[in-house]
Amino acid sequence: MDEKAANKLAAAVGGEVWQSGGGIHVVTIRRPDGSLVVFSEDLVAEYDDDEAFENSKPSASILLRDDPSEYWVVESEGGDVWLQDPDHGRGWATQEDAEQEARGIQSRVGRCWARRQRPSDTVPD
């Protein structure tokens, strides 16, 4: 989510805004037992501790969006496809984010573009 949305959510739930990179913000709530609840645009997840969070190992999660067509991927002329989160089979939440990533990838591999994610793009678990 963007910073403005993250700040609003943090104020509503009593959490802290954390920038996870690339202009993507999440909201975290630290519980008394040391576990974390993390809200992103796509997911609410609970992590046992900071190490589990750093290693993307949630103990529980709720997908807020699970329809691949709601995401955007980057595709190259050669047919290669990049996802933002390959472990969960999801592309970028917005076309703008995917286009920005495509520009970066294009500088390394050649012509790339953003397009809607298809179910066939999803990497199986």
User: Average pLDDT per run of 10 along the chain, which is 125 residues long?
Assistant: 91 92 87 94 90 89 74 92 85 93 92 90 57
Which pTM was predicted?
0.54
Tell me the C-alpha to C-alpha distance, in Å, between residue 32 and each of 42, 43, 117.
25, 22, 39
**pLDDT the model gives residue 125:** 39
**pLDDT the model gives residue 36:** 95
Q: Is 25 helix (H, G, I), strand (E, B) or coil?
A: strand
* Tokens found for residue 31: 């519980």
H/E segment holding residue 99: helix 95-109
Rg (CA), the chain: 16
**Dihedral (Cα; 59, 11, 20, 65), 10-degree rounding:** 60
Residue 88 has phi, psi (to 5 degrees) of: -110, 5
